[in-house]
């Protein structure tokens, strides 16, 4: 039995041929690009494995988007597994709820080094370059709706060397995902595996470190609900040897070909349209930088109170064919790292008329009067300190740090902070009033 480092790739939730629902009014080149995105993302995974000479590759379910998988998606998967096999890299595949074994599938052979798990937990030897170095345990969903605790069936299966478990499941009852193959972290730990290669949750997460329990997330974001980097984990494990326990690490590697972002932009303090244009431009450039050469679909939500509120409500100003969105998007798709505004919406409110609010006979008026008198009496520094002392904040451990920060502010900075605090409190007080 060897004790040298073993490196492998763990990906999941490829959702090949995902239809990208909910997108309207997109250009044809962008549509074509999106249609290919889930395929190209997985191609990137395979290319990475070959280029970096990974020892093997694991896919933890939801390879296809639906039971009614396309011929194109099936042929593509076989071709990619063949690329791996030709490079001497074994692959291990488990199916999940989206691509359960009951779905339609062409009757074709997997490449020689590809293994697919069946509808019962199975343990197959991990053979690298002719030598057995461990065991890979896995399970494929026979049908979409698997309600039992499948993780429990992995217990007692540990063999010699490296032990990897492959399962599509919901660990710890995550509420945003359907509760398929529900299990707890304790169930996973009890099985004594060196690595749990999970699938189902579309956001990458290292759930636990010893042993490693990992959700890689999906390889390609498919809607505005799947924002940010998408990719896979490149894992390195040194199997246990004698009294030395196994040690591993997992590095996230992005492989997505188009990215989704959802950004909020407050119009507070903006005086002119010029300010809005500058702000949107800077959001776009920040997003472009983050995407590192990939194109991005960006949703912008304008929020806050401010002078530009009325302007944003002009018919066609934001979303119309000749509005802000269309204008910003013009020529954008000509460049490879385009940032296309997918939607721009506004939940802004008019600026506050503090004079009329203050003249009223209600709590908001009292608050404003109180805030005004606090500002007018001067010496904000000792005023703020008095409030903090009154609330018992200065007596705590953090008091010295608070004191130092307070001393470090200039009078102008302090005035600005007090104003912002009052404004934020006022916004909270008025929350919902504009909606009525
Ligand atoms: Mn999935």
Kindly give the distance from the C-alpha atom of residue 143 to the centroid of ligand 1, in angstroms, as a whole number: 14
Kindly give the distance from the C-alpha atom of residue 209 to the centroid of ligand 1, in angstroms, as a whole number: 23
CA neighbor of 189 nearest in space, from 207, 162, 169: 207
Kindly give the distance from the C-alpha atom of residue 204 to the centroid of ligand 1, in angstroms, as a whole number: 12
pLDDT digits (tens, 9 = 90+) for 244-269: 878 899 999 999 999 999 999 999 99
Domain ranges of the chain: 6-254, 259-346, 364-430
Task: Return the number of other C-beta atoms located less than 10 Å from residue 322's C-beta.
Answer: 10
Rounded Cα distance between 313 and 434, Å, is: 14
Q: How confident is the model at residue 290 (pLDDT cuts 50, 70, 90)?
A: very high
Residue with tokens 């007692």: 156
Kindly give the distance from the C-alpha atom of residue 179 to the centroid of ligand 1, in angstroms, as a whole number: 12
Distances (CA, A) of 214 to 9, 15, 133, 284, 387: 12, 18, 21, 32, 47
Residue 20 has pLDDT above 80, yes or no: no
Mean pLDDT of 331-338: 90
Q: How confident is the model at residue 5 (pLDDT cuts 50, 70, 90)?
A: very high
Kindly give the distance from the C-alpha atom of residue 96 to the centroid of ligand 1, in angstroms, as a whole number: 8
Kindly give the distance from the C-alpha atom of residue 98 to the centroid of ligand 1, in angstroms, as a whole number: 7
pLDDT for 369 equals 85
pLDDT for 395 equals 65
Per the structure block, which two tokens stand in for 411? 């009078």
Half-sphere exposure of 352 (CA within 13 A, CB side): 21
Kindly give the distance from the C-alpha atom of residue 239 to the centroid of ligand 1, in angstroms, as a whole number: 30
Higher pLDDT, 20 or 86: 86
Kindly give the distance from the C-alpha atom of residue 202 to the centroid of ligand 1, in angstroms, as a whole number: 6
CA neighbor of 59 nearest in space, from 16, 14, 120, 118: 14
Question: 3-state class of 231 per DSSP?
Answer: strand
Kindly give the distance from the C-alpha atom of residue 203 to the centroid of ligand 1, in angstroms, as a whole number: 10
Kindly give the distance from the C-alpha atom of residue 60 to the centroid of ligand 1, in angstroms, as a whole number: 9
Residue 424 has pLDDT above 70, yes or no: yes
% of the chain surpassing 90 pLDDT = 67
Mean pLDDT of 373-382: 83
Superfamily for domain range 6-254: Metallo-dependent phosphatases (3.60.21.10)
Kindly give the distance from the C-alpha atom of residue 101 to the centroid of ligand 1, in angstroms, as a whole number: 15
Q: What is the DSSP string of 119-162?
A: SS-EEEEEEETTEEEEEEEE---SSS---S--GGGGTT---SSE
- The conformation of residue 284, written as its DSSP 8-state character, comes to H
Kindly give the distance from the C-alpha atom of residue 214 to the centroid of ligand 1, in angstroms, as a whole number: 14
Kindly give the distance from the C-alpha atom of residue 84 to the centroid of ligand 1, in angstroms, as a whole number: 23
Kindly give the distance from the C-alpha atom of residue 76 to the centroid of ligand 1, in angstroms, as a whole number: 18
pLDDT for 3 equals 57
Kindly give the distance from the C-alpha atom of residue 89 to the centroid of ligand 1, in angstroms, as a whole number: 24
Higher pLDDT, 106 or 28: 106
Mean pLDDT rounded to a whole number for the chain: 90
pLDDT for 412 equals 82
Kindly give the distance from the C-alpha atom of residue 218 to the centroid of ligand 1, in angstroms, as a whole number: 7
Q: Which of 157-166, 317-326, 390-399 has the lowest mean pLDDT?
A: 390-399
Q: How confident is the model at residue 435 (pLDDT cuts 50, 70, 90)?
A: very low
Kindly give the distance from the C-alpha atom of residue 208 to the centroid of ligand 1, in angstroms, as a whole number: 20
């Amino acid at each position: 039995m060897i004790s040298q480092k073993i490196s492998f790739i763990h990906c999941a939730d490829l959702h090949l041929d995902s239809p990208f629902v909910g997108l309207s009014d997109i250009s044809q080149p962008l549509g074509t690009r999106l249609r290919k995105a889930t395929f190209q993302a997985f191609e990137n995974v395979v290319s990475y494995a070959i280029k970096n000479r990974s020892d093997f590759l694991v896919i933890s379910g939801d390879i296809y988007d639906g039971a009614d998988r396309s011929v194109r998606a099936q042929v593509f998967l076989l071709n990619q597994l063949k690329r791996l096999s030709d490079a001497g890299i074994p692959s291990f595949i488990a199916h999940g709820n989206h691509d359960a074994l009951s779905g339609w599938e062409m009757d074709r052979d997997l490449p020689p080094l590809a293994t697919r798990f069946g509808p019962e937990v199975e343990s197959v030897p991990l053979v690298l370059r002719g030598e057995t170095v461990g065991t890979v345990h896995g399970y494929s969903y026979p049908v979409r709706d698997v309600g039992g605790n499948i993780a429990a069936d992995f217990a007692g299966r540990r063999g010699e060397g490296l032990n990897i478990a492959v399962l599509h499941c919901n660990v710890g009852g995550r509420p945003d995902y359907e509760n398929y193959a529900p299990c707890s972290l304790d169930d996973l730990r009890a099985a004594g595996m060196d690595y749990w290669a999970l699938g189902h949750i579309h956001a990458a997460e290292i759930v636990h470190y010893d042993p490693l329990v990992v959700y890689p997330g999906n390889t390609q974001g498919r809607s505005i609900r799947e924002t940010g980097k998408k990719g896979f984990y490149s894992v390195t494990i040194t199997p246990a040897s004698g009294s030395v326990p196994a040690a591993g690490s997992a590095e996230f590697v992005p492989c997505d070909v188009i990215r989704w972002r959802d950004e909020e932009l407050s119009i507070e303090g903006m005086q002119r349209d010029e300010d809005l244009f500058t702000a949107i431009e800077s959001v776009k450039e920040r997003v472009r930088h983050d995407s590192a050469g990939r194109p991005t679909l960006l949703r912008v939500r304008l929020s806050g109170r401010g002078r530009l509120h009325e302007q944003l409500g002009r018919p066609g100003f934001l979303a119309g064919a000749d509005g802000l969105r269309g204008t910003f998007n013009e020529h954008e798709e000509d460049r490879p790292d385009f940032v296309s505004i997918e939607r721009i919406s506004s939940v802004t409110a008019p600026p506050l008329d503090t004079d009329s609010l203050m003249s009223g006979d209600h709590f908001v008026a009292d608050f404003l009067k109180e805030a005004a008198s606090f500002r007018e009496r001067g010496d904000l520094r000792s005023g703020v300190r008095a409030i903090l002392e009154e609330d018992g904040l200065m007596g705590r451990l953090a008091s010295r740090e608070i004191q130092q920060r307070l001393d470090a502010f200039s009078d102008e900075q302090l005035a600005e902070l007090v104003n912002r605090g009052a404004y934020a409190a006022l916004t909270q007080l008025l929350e919902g009033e504009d909606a009525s």
